[in-house]
Amino acid sequence: MSAMLALRALLSGLLVAIISVVSRRYPGLGALIASLPLISVLGMIWLWNDKPDVENMARHAEATFYYVIPSLPMFLLIPMLLRRGLPFIPALIAGCVLTILLYLVTVAIAARIGIRL
């Protein structure tokens, strides 16, 4: 494993750990940190470092936008299911399944209107 890959994994994992620790005491602040596009920004930095290509980066950033939209309903479904008594793991799985289905719909709609994801 290259040193750069290890650094990338360490930094990304550190962000997840920080969010987890902060969220234990301050759920709202942890959610705010988690909602920041930190991983997306890091991914763009790593991508640019590996392949500094303007069009490739523009397509990546644009596709990220279109994939964020179908992921948002998951963050409404999971709390709704939890509050109705569904255990965490099934609620999380339901949220992930919903997101996957919405990704498929998004890709199909995007292709029909000429957006390449």
Per-residue model confidence as pLDDT tens for the chain (117 residues) = 688 889 888 988 898 999 999 999 999 999 998 888 988 898 899 999 999 999 999 999 999 999 999 999 999 999 999 999 999 999 999 999 999 999 999 999 999 999 988
Residue 86 corresponds to which amino acid? Answer: L
- pTM of this prediction? 0.81
Residue 115 corresponds to which amino acid? Answer: I
Residues 6+ apart with CB under 8 A from 111: 117
Per-residue model confidence (pLDDT) at position 1: 64
